[in-house]
Structure 1
Amino acid sequence: MFSIHFPFVMKKFALSALLVASVLAAPAVAKDPTAPKAATTAKAPASYKVQPQLSTLGWVGKKVTGQHNGTIQFKSGDVEVQGSQITGGTFLVDMTSLKVVDITDADTNGKLMGHLRSDDFFSIEKNPTATFKITRITPIKGAAAAANNATVAGELTIKGITKPVSFPAKVGVKNGVAAASGTATIDRTLFDIRYGSKSFFESIGDKAIDNDFTLSFNVIAKK
């Protein structure tokens, strides 16, 4: 029988958030462009391994009559670190781990899960993983200590379709740990997920589902 371990999910998110916060308390990645440049020898980026058990990925999908939210798990990944800055990375998401956490009734939860796994949405049986590859990280000048300090751009692949995405995030490196947190807004229709979209079904009325959904992440990688 389908069951939800909601307290465990919340505990994992809380622990991950605390760990990310401790790393991101380090100085922002952006450097003062007017500061004198020291003569240094460039080193190859170091590779940090994503820690799936310490990282979290949450999703929220909205519709006219409300919204649903849940979690997905990172499967693996590598983060490139140059000195005290994150410069790149590749992340593999286990789509088979997708869960709905806001519906407590097992039967209703199972029906929504089945629909999200179907070809109407993520075609998980055919596409068990999704990937994100960082192509560029641009520091946000003048970012406050507690605010997002970088714009992350990259290539997101869902259902075998790859599209460019970008979003603000707070990133940092401290004591052999790289961390990133933030929220990305994704247009699902770019990945051939059109079910319930008013962009393709104009007469759908109050059964419409927003094209955009959000992914909130706390990522921890270790040297």
Structure 2
Amino acid sequence: KAGVRIVTGDTKVVERGSADGIYITTSGIGVIPAGCDLAAEKIREGDVAIVNGVLGDHGAAILAARGDLALSTNLESDCQSLASLMATAIKAAPNLRAARDATRGGLASALNELAEGAGVTVEIEEDRLPLRDEVKGMCEILGLDPLYLANEGTLVFLVPKEEAGAALAAIRGMPAGKGAVVIGRARAKGPIPVVMKTIFGGERIVDMLVGEQLPRIC
């Protein structure tokens, strides 16, 4: 399904009774397509920010699955292969600037890394963020911010405005990208790397994650 070949393996010996299941560690080797040069410093003012699907499902699902808070939910992790999605995006938007997985630290941290590397400010719009009601509700109850919840199958892309439509259409044609949406844009560098235009018309600072909202889960 992911198009990955397993080319080698290894075994480990541990003390009797010290292992309660299987341990899996992987190392992946990929190929950079000719002419593909993605980097944060290539982002320009006016570029469009796109995510391939809903945010926060993984972090919320893991939190609920631990059972510490007696939360009942149907949420599932968004863990999925993104290789074919990335290849499709590169083909549809030849001038794709940069992409980042929104894993540890969530969307907020991924955008801050991109904005700081590019020397721009990224502005996102609260009413465009793809969040399930269950994730919103869980975050409200627990005092968490969904922008910082970990994701395992989410990419954020920065593409030129003129290529955004083609990129969005191509990404939505993939199983891993059917929920893709535009969430914001890059603008001239300001004092804050990432800001969010709220549903009330104001602006909120979106900082890098400091510390951990949740214990390490990935």
Bin for the TM-score computed over the shorter chain = under 0.3
Report which structure shows greater RCO (CA 8 Å, sep ≥6).
2
Q: Given the two structures, how large is their TM-score scaled by the length of structure 2? A: 0.23
TM-score (norm 1): 0.23
More helix by percentage: 2
- Which structure shows the bigger proportion of residues in strand conformation? 1
